[in-house]
A = this chain, B = another copy of it.
Amino acid sequence: MRIAVINETSAADRNADILAALDGLGHDVVNAGMKKSGEKPELSYIHTGLMAAVLLNAGTVDFVVGGCGTGQGFLNSVMQYPGVTCGHILTPLDAWLFTQINGGNCISLMLNQGYGWAGEANLKFIFEKLFCVQPGSGYPAHRKGPQRESRELLGRLNRITHHEMTEILTRLPGEVVSPVAAYPGLIKLVESRPGIDRVIISTLKNRLKG
């Protein structure tokens, strides 16, 4: 699986912990956001939410690991867009249930609140459980059917409630889309996988010009 790690400014110093915790699990990890605190350009959770949505909707990555100080900001930001199912994941149990029940493609981590000494070990335990079970396999097992139906219905209504991603990219204010389109390496990253959505790329590039 291809996973993007995307950190915003308030918890940028957790980026190294997240990368280390994902290491060794056999996934292709791309580090798309901020690497440390104070680094320029800065990304707010508004920007990392859009960045996650672009990478998921273009098909560049299969999963996004994001977050912010409490996890609520990135969660609300990324959930504005189509094609995203995001869990607020604090413990290994949260992770294990989210994969089985919700089968999502994004998580929001709590990276300042309650993030103390040994927080990096907790991240490791979270990722172990997030990726050790089949997405959508259901929990408990006998609830697999109704849980799948809810996920499918959520997917259908997601397309009804949201505008198309390209239309969104065209209409978003510059202060939201420009820092994302211009973020070092981002457009190159979006294009880095065969079969991605070319319209999203070209729309993003157009916003870069304007």
**Which residues A68-103 have CB closer than 8 A to chain B?**
69-73, 75-77, 79-82, 85-88, 90-94, 96-98, 101-102
A129 on the B face (CB < 8 A): yes
Question: Which residue of B has the minimal Cβ distance to A170?
Answer: B160
CA separation between A69 and B79, bound complex, in Å? 20
**Which residues A116-140 have CB closer than 8 A to chain B?**
116-119, 121-122, 125, 129, 139
Q: Name A168's contact: one of B75, B76, B90, B160 (CB within 8 Å).
A: B160
Inter-chain contact A44/B150, CB cutoff 8 Å: yes
Taking CB atoms, residues of chain B closer than 8 Å to A81 are 161
The answer to whether residues A112 and B116 also contact, given A70-B98, A79-B79, A87-B72 and a CB cut-off of 8 A, is: yes
**Which residues A144-162 have CB closer than 8 A to chain B?**
146, 150, 153-154, 156-158, 160-162
CA separation between A122 and B96, bound complex, in Å? 10
A171 on the B face (CB < 8 A): yes
Give the size of the chain A interface in residues (CB under 8 angstroms).
60
A173 on the B face (CB < 8 A): yes
**Which residues A1-43 have CB closer than 8 A to chain B?**
none
A172 on the B face (CB < 8 A): yes
Question: Which residue of B has the minimal Cβ distance to A8?
Answer: B150
CB distance from A10 to the nearest CB of B (A): 9
CB distance from A76 to the nearest CB of B (A): 6
CA separation between A14 and B10, bound complex, in Å? 21
